[in-house]
Amino acid sequence: MTGRSHPALPDQPGRGDSVWAEPVQDYLDHIQVERGLSTNTVAAYRRDLAAYVTYLNQAQVAGPEAITPVLVAGFATALRHRGLATSSINRMVVAVRGLHRFWASEAITATDPAHDVEPPAIGQRLPKALAIDQVMALIAAAGAEGPEAGPVELRDGALLELLYGTGARISEVTALDVDEIRRLLGDDDLGLTLVGKGGKTRVVPVGHFARAALEAWLVRGRPALARRSAQPSPALFLNARGGRLSRQSAFHRIHQVATRAGLAADISPHTLRHSYATHLIDGGADVRVVQELLGHASVATTQIYTLITVDHLREVYRMAHPRAL
């Protein structure tokens, strides 16, 4: 690879001449909306993947399906030859591995050629979770309980209650149709069926607060937004024009509500999923039960939340025990 600067990827996927623009942008949207990464982190991924695209173009690779494990390993080798720091190489390889894992999961490619390309070992990153009182403040800031609550406030309140009450991914919630929720509200013992990654389904319980918020949205809020569209949508959550609420729009709404609540700027739908899992573990739930509720393929993914709990317990011990310090 040369030492020249790398061009940025197009801001609008699909509008540039590059075959890489849209599939790479799909991944960047995924890490922002689904994984809740910060704007700065997404920008770093964009720069790293721009370097990867430059490498692929120099190798005259026709498109995602033409990438081989040898090419991915060659990218890592080229980075070492440029004399980059190990931490920088690690970050860029992680970005490439994430990109290929996403492409394979979305059937953009049939295989994952980066699966066996290992980055340097890094420390485990614990997910961020809100305290219970912060979750309550976030939900309250949606304004669904206020006397002036309109359709948007009722929708946002129901969205937040459902995300926190089920631990669902934002893509799973925005994919729900209204008929599924009407069946749920008609049977107190009926769980909500969610379709997760790879089309895998799971059934999760829905508590009283989420049910009440959903009922308020369906009765008092959704009809007003539905009337704004000439083509009725089956979606549970609607946007201001009466169409299905997108993942990106839901992300921005939650960000706005979090700002109104005075919470951190990087709160995302995934923050509520982390909070759901952490609060369950803190409350004594078995990690394998939480694994099923979250739809994790492996319990190892879920066990990261036990690290948060141990850290919390250690802090409480240090503050409360007279002989801890």
CATH of the domain at 40: 1.10.150.130
* Same-domain pairing of 6 and 114: yes
* Same-domain pairing of 149 and 263: yes
Question: Is 128 one of the annotated active-site residues of the chain?
Answer: no
Q: Tell me which of 46, 222, 273, 279 is the catalytic residue.
A: 273
Question: Domain range holding 9?
Answer: 1-123
Q: Tell me which of 197, 244, 255, 312 is the catalytic residue.
A: 197
**What is residue 308's predicted lDDT score, i.e. its pLDDT?**
65
**What is residue 123's predicted lDDT score, i.e. its pLDDT?**
47
Q: Give the pair of three-digit tokens for residue 248.
A: 């990106």
Residue for token pair 């923050």: 271
Single pTM value for the model: 0.61
Asked if 184 and 165 touch (Cβ cutoff 8 Å), the reply is no
Question: Is 169 one of the annotated active-site residues of the chain?
Answer: yes
Q: Is 295's pLDDT higher than 50?
A: yes
* Same-domain pairing of 100 and 16: yes
Question: Is 279 one of the annotated active-site residues of the chain?
Answer: no
Asked if 305 and 296 touch (Cβ cutoff 8 Å), the reply is no
**What is residue 309's predicted lDDT score, i.e. its pLDDT?**
67
Split into its structural domains, the chain has a count of 2
Q: Tell me which of 247, 253, 270, 279 is the catalytic residue.
A: 270
The mean pLDDT value for 31-48 works out to 91
Asked if 43 and 49 touch (Cβ cutoff 8 Å), the reply is no
Residue 321 resides in a domain: no
**What is residue 20's predicted lDDT score, i.e. its pLDDT?**
94
* Same-domain pairing of 93 and 226: no
**What is residue 86's predicted lDDT score, i.e. its pLDDT?**
78
Q: Tell me which of 30, 169, 202, 247 is the catalytic residue.
A: 169
Question: Is 82 one of the annotated active-site residues of the chain?
Answer: no
* Same-domain pairing of 76 and 151: no
Residue 70 resides in a domain: yes
Question: Is 273 one of the annotated active-site residues of the chain?
Answer: yes
